[in-house]
């Protein structure tokens, strides 16, 4: 399940920018530690949120699965 968080983050950002995930103009791993994010996702019994900035965008991930880009809910990493 935690691997779904990383791929959902990338898909959410790409969807927000209306591009294919392979065509993103940013490398998410340059802005967050992917291994740390996956470790955080393993804490499914805790309530947490993670917020980080990309150029011109703010991304927030919640333990309930919501991924928001610039305040707009995009995808849910738990149900994907």
Q: Among residues 39, 23, 31, 78, which one has the least CA distance to residue 57?
A: 31
Domain with 69, as residue range(s), is 2-76
Task: Answer whether residue 28 shows pLDDT above 60.
Answer: yes
pLDDT band per the 50, 70, 90 thresholds, residue 71 = very high
C-beta separation of 69 from 19 below 8 A = no
Whole-number percent of the chain with pLDDT over 90: 51
In the prediction, which pLDDT does 52 show?
A: 95
pLDDT band per the 50, 70, 90 thresholds, residue 79 = low
**Number of structural domains the chain divides into:** 1
DSSP 2-55: HHHHHHHHHHHHHHHHTS-GGG-SS-GGGTS-HHHHHHHHT-TTS--EEEEEET
């Amino acid at each position: 399940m935690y691997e779904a968080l990383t791929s959902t983050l990338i898909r959410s950002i790409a969807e927000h920018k209306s591009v294919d995930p392979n065509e993103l103009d940013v490398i998410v791993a340059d802005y967050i530690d992917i291994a740390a994010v996956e470790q955080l996702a393993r804490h499914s019994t805790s309530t947490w949120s993670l917020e980080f900035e990309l150029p011109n965008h703010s991304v927030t991930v919640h333990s309930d699965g919501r991924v928001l880009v610039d305040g707009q809910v995009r995808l849910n990493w738990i149900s994907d």
